[in-house]
Structure 1
Amino acid sequence: MNPEYKDILLDYSDEIIKKWMDDLEDNKLKEYKSTVSNELIEQVNREFVNLIFSKLKDGVNYESLEQFSERIVNLGWPLAYLTEGMQSFRSICIRTILEQIDNKDEAFFLEVMDDVNNWVDPIKNQLINEYSNNWNNIISLQKVALQELSVPLIPVMEGITVMPLVGTIDTDRAKLIMENLLDGVIKSRAEVVLIDITGVPVVDTMVAHHIVQAAEAVRLIGSTCILVGIRPEIAQTIVNLGIDLSRFPTKSSLKKGFEKALEMTNRDIVNVKEKDADIIDDMVQSIDKE
């Protein structure tokens, strides 16, 4: 940058910073004031402008830019905060230089713009790149977390496991269902797995095909799959599609499916009060015999 322009910017840095922060306060951050304190907004703005001026003084610090972009992402502020903020800063700096040098020549104006652009643009580009990278990393982590939550496998009793499904099932999710189901059955040594489709809004040919494949895979590794949560409209759809579900049991509710699972694992539901009454009767009868 032209040394004269650089000196002007440094000499008037306090004024530039004040104008820039006032502009951000008025136009860019109104929507955040209800959720973020004014102190935090001012702190972040101050950190932002210090990063820009540090490039003018000492050269760009890419690590600092990366850390600042990550902070903006974590605050949930949009990319526009960086892009519009840099545009506002550029305009204020150009105007400041023009006001301090009395030169109306077009070539001078273009030279000032080029110098300021060469200073600001690399910082803006780096901030945008780092913001995008941080945002993509967060999206990837959230996607993994959602995938894990979307196909949970819950052991409810020794030998019995439940997989409740909620929402639309597409090809990618169906693949994840298959993988989690098989891994979970082996790890928990489940004899019976209940796939609950109560929360699946639509069961079409593809969804039914994936469920049948999953049930068949469970059967091949020595366990039994029970499909539960079959509402009347889903039952009608399955019949109309001609899908064969005869290879594994189906129940209308999780409660009935669990009762079936208990039966298949040689368990019974016992009324404790009735059992206690029978024990007391047996004791009384034994005393009478004496």
Structure 2
Amino acid sequence: MNKLMVEGINQYMDEIIERWIKRMKEEKGERFFHFMPEHLVEKTSREFAELMTSNIRETTSIDSEKINDFTEKIVRFGWAIKFVNKAIDNFSNVVFELLEEKGVITDENLRSFMALFTNWINPLRESIIDAYSAEWERTVSLQKIALQELSASLIPVFDKISVMPLVGTIDTERAKLIMENLLEGVVSQRAEVVLLDITGVPVVDTMVAHHIIQAADAVRLVGAKCMLVGIRPEIAQTIVALGINLNEFTTKSTLQRGMQAALGMTNREIVEVDAL
């Protein structure tokens, strides 16, 4: 890359970063630069600047390892791909405007510098977006697996009584996994009462209710009773508003009340014992 441009960027790097941060804070819906600790914002901004200038010399190729490391970090920070594109655009614009102000870019060399910027930014953008997309897909896949493992296990809590805590959104794929684990668990644990705890389910709509009713019906077919617990007031209002019929199985507001009812169904109860 042109030696004049390299020297200009190196000389004014601190000012470039400062202006870039200011411009990023002005982006609509921006959260990272406003809510993260100042030292983390500064550190991440410098890492981004180093990444953007990693191929600043014609003899230097794009550092894929550095790109992968940075995209892994910003995915954890929650940067959307649109925000990443804005970051690249803003950095390029800030560099161009500042070099113009400092007299590095003039009317005489403007066309040459525009070509230099195109050859500098476009390959970087493509590499960063590709790495970001791959990291995002990997992260989503890992989160999905973790969520499935955490929220689709049938847990025996008492003899003949088991609980399945459900966490997160229930889609068709997760409903299938829940159904499989539920039926296998009921049979292997010889459960007579199963409590489906939806405390961790943020929204119960018609589709979610349909999956829950299907699970309850399947449990009854293998000879056990199903109880729905963890029904918060807002969930109850939604169920009523949607006209969802849950009359065929017992419902309780909390897991504690559900456990008391389950003990009653199996002819047991919790009693207090006087201390000796």
SS in 2 for 1:28: helix
Partner residue in 2 for 1:280 = none
Contact kept, 8 Å, 1:90 with 1:117, in 2: the verdict is no
Letter in 2 for 1:48: F
For 1:201-233, what per-residue CA distance to the aligned partner results, in whole angstroms no more than 9, with x for missing partners? 7675x6665444323433444x41233459798
For 1:39-60, what per-residue CA distance to the aligned partner results, in whole angstroms no more than 9, with x for missing partners? 3333333332233333123221
Distance 1:7 1:168 in 2: 54
1:118, distance to aligned residue in structure 2 (A): 0.6
Distance 1:65 1:196 in 2: 42
Match status 1:61 vs 2:63: yes
Distance 2:73 2:167 in 1: 34
SS in 2 for 1:155: strand
Change (3 A) 1:93 1:199: closer
Distance 2:182 2:211 in 1: 12
Letter in 2 for 1:55: N
1:8, distance to aligned residue in structure 2 (A): 0.6
1:252, distance to aligned residue in structure 2 (A): 5.5
Contact kept, 8 Å, 1:192 with 1:261, in 2: the verdict is yes
Partner residue in 1 for 2:40 = 40
The structure that is helix-richer by fraction is 1
Distance 2:256 2:39 in 1: 54
Partner residue in 1 for 2:157 = 156
Match status 1:70 vs 2:64: no
1:121, distance to aligned residue in structure 2 (A): 1.4
| TM-align CA RMSD | 4.1
Distance 1:210 1:101 in 2: 63
Contact kept, 8 Å, 1:16 with 1:92, in 2: the verdict is no
**What are the within-5 Å matches in structure 2 for residues 179-190 of structure 1?**
179-190=180-191
Contact kept, 8 Å, 2:20 with 2:91, in 1: the verdict is no
Name the stretch that deviates more: 122-131 or 166-175. 166-175
Partner residue in 2 for 1:16 = 12
Letter in 2 for 1:59: S
Contact kept, 8 Å, 1:226 with 1:257, in 2: the verdict is no
Change (3 A) 1:152 1:84: farther
Structure 2: state its 5+ residue gaps: none
Distance 2:167 2:55 in 1: 51
Distance 1:46 1:256 in 2: 54
Distance 1:153 1:179 in 2: 10
Partner residue in 2 for 1:194 = 195
Contact kept, 8 Å, 1:195 with 1:225, in 2: the verdict is no
Partner residue in 1 for 2:130 = 129
Change (3 A) 1:169 1:90: same
Match status 1:115 vs 2:111: no
**What are the within-5 Å matches in structure 2 for residues 1-290 of structure 1?**
1=1, 6-29=2-25, 32=32, 35-57=35-57, 58-77=60-79, 78-80=83-85, 82-92=87-97, 95=100, 99-100=103-104, 104=108, 108-148=109-149, 151=152, 153-164=154-165, 171-196=172-197, 210-221=211-222, 223-228=223-228, 237=243, 245=248, 250=250, 258-259=259-260, 261-262=262-263, 265=266, 267-270=268-271, 272-273=273-274
Structure 1: state its 5+ residue gaps: 278-290
Counting matched residue pairs gives: 258
Distance 2:138 2:209 in 1: 34
Letter in 2 for 1:174: A
From the CA coordinates, give the structure whose radius of gyration is larger.
1
Give aligned-pair identity as a percent: 39
1:15, distance to aligned residue in structure 2 (A): 2.5
Letter in 2 for 1:9: M
Distance 1:197 1:43 in 2: 41
Contact kept, 8 Å, 1:69 with 1:130, in 2: the verdict is yes
Contact kept, 8 Å, 2:193 with 2:226, in 1: the verdict is yes
